[in-house]
Structure 1
Amino acid sequence: MPSCQQAMEAARAAVNGGIAVLEIVRSTPGVFEVLQALANEYPTKAFGVGTVLTAEDAKTAIKAGAKFLMSPATVNDILDDVRDTDVLYMPGVMTPTEIYSAHNAGAKIVKIYPVSALGGVRYISAIRKPFSHIPMVASQGITIDSVGDYIAQGAISVVLSDAIFDKEAMSQNNFDVVNRLATSAALQGKTAVERKKR
């Protein structure tokens, strides 16, 4: 299990590698302390908390400096609480009905989860057709080399947890590997977004 210090070092390695938006999962030891420290250290970056399942955790995360919150499902209490704030809440959705309902309930962006189990890039491509007006983030099981495909098919962003925070590198506290993976991911993302603009 990663420690608070390990989470800080890994996050620094990712941010220094070019990652500008970083989600810290709720299960991280000392998650709110880690968030607060990173928000103070890198004021121009956007840090948020993922796997938030209660309004209470959402409030604590916001107090600690979270710019965004993510959940694996739609938690209406969180959606209601952040409605008139600057904090972005991205609820997890899977089906067309869930996408439509979350957007109608006020979600500005939805997180398609678990995307690789649903068909990956092909699922994003298919689901974007009827919901092209709803911004979607693809999450779960995404590899760095598939970032471009997800962006090309309509995802506005992707969640790359294990692709950057490689389990073996993390178990060895090898933050150079995390930094290299982050650099590669940031470059792939930048290239994909530029290609899409053309």
Structure 2
Amino acid sequence: MFIPMQSSRSMEMAEIWSSLNSSSRAPRFCVTSSSFYPSSRRAKRSCTRLYAAKVVAGTLKLSSADEAVDGILSSGVIACLRANSAELAMEAALAALDAGITVLEIVMTTPGAVEVIKELQQRHSSSILGVGTVLSIEDARSAMNAGAKFLMSPATIKEVLFGIRGEDVLYIPGAMTPTEIFDAHKLGARVVKLICSTHLLVRIQYFGSSFQIYPASVLGGARYISVLKKPFSHVPMVASQGITIDLINAYIESGASAVVLSDAIFDREAMAQRNFDEIRRLASLASLLGTQAVNRVKAESC
């Protein structure tokens, strides 16, 4: 019988810093549509095979939320699209999806984002489509009505988290610190988006002077993921902000369930020039590397 791990107590940042030099890896977990379970290799394989067999046999029907979780965990990449027009968003989205991207997020600030999602659902019904920068329950409802399977926010928006309970949609709130991760998961978030830019710089304004917090750089990058996965190994995390295609493997090897790629796929120059061939090239490469990284981690766990 599998017994899920209980949530760890939230940790202060000072405790995180002390473990930075440790090279030990977080334990691997058996993945089902809704839970991560610590297990032996034999039990893990049995769990995964039984679940997969039920899905293939049609005896287990996935909800949209479960489908979103499974899609994210299996692809390793969430393509994040923002554009200055609905037309550009549609063409860029189709280029990425045609090139192999299976999980796509369109930022709510994109003009006509909801209409784009609705049309994409008709053209790519098997893809996992979601809406990002969801800041209110109104945004959430508009996205759900358009067929979005997941919603993403830059922070934990309680109005959204509580407002969609009972709805068949996955909500991924944003977090940065251990306390924010703990609180989001405790409130019911199944997946947390970790803001971990590789170029993050923290400053504190004090009496008109600017002081740099050192070493703030440890808040960024794959190393931060690996540190956070030690106390929060039971919380699936997707890494976001400033991640490039060449870093996909490093993040997933460090414990991220997936990475959010924005400019890395929807390159600003390519978008400005409507160079959809370049977007297809980047999307194809990101999709390939994401799948390879996920499969590599799965193989190491068996």
Normalised to the residue count of structure 1, the TM-score between the two structures is 0.98
Do the aligned residues in 2 keep the contact of 1:83 with 1:106 (CA within 8 Å)? no
Query: CA separation in 2, counterparts of 1:160 and 1:119?
Result: 15
Unaligned runs of 5+ in 1: none
| AA partner of residue 146 (structure 2) | A
Query: Which structure: larger Rg?
Result: 2
Q: Deviations over 1:87-118 (max 9, x none)?
A: 00000000000000000000000000143322
Structure 2: where are the runs of 5+ without partners? 1-82, 201-218
What is aligned with 2:99? 17
**Identity in percent:** 58
Per the alignment, residue 173 of structure 1 pairs with: 274
Deviations along 1:11-56, one digit per CA (max 9) or x if unpaired, are 0000011110000001111111111010111000011110110011
Partner of residue 90, structure 1: 172
CA distance in 1, matches of 2:228, 2:124: 35
Partner of 1:40: 122
Does 1:128 pair with 2:229?
Answer: yes
Deviations 1:50-103 (A, max 9, x none): 011001110010001110000000001111122222200000000000000000
What CA distance in whole angstroms lies between the structure 1 residues aligned with 2:192 and 2:164?
14
- Quick check: 2:196–2:220 contact (8 Å CA) kept in 1? no
Partner of 1:111: 193
Look up the equivalent residue of 2:119 and give its one-letter code.
A
Whichever residue aligns with residue 272 of structure 2, its letter is S
Q: 1:55 to 1:114 in 2, by over 3 A?
A: farther
Instruction: Say if 1:50 and 1:71, in contact at 8 Å, map to a contact too.
Output: yes
- Report the 3-state secondary structure (helix = DSSP H, G, I; strand = E; otherwise coil) of the residue aligned with 1:7: helix
- Distance in structure 2 (CA, Å) of the matches to 1:114 and 1:135: 15
CA distance in structure 2 between the partners assigned to 1:180 and 1:83 by the alignment? 38
Q: 1:52 aligns with which of 134, 137, 148?
A: 134
CA distance in 2, matches of 1:78, 1:119: 27
Q: Which runs of 4+ in 1 moved over 3 A?
A: none
| C-alpha separation in 2, matches of 1:72 and 1:114 | 12
Q: What SS class does the counterpart of residue 286 from structure 2 fall into?
A: helix
2:259 aligned counterpart, secondary structure: strand
Instruction: With the length of structure 2 as denominator, give the TM-score of the two structures.
Output: 0.64
Residues of 1 paired with 2:197 and 2:140: CA distance?
Answer: 24
Q: State how far apart, in whole Å, the 1-side matches of 2:126 and 2:221 are.
A: 31
- Distance in 1 separating the partners of 2:95 and 2:196: 26
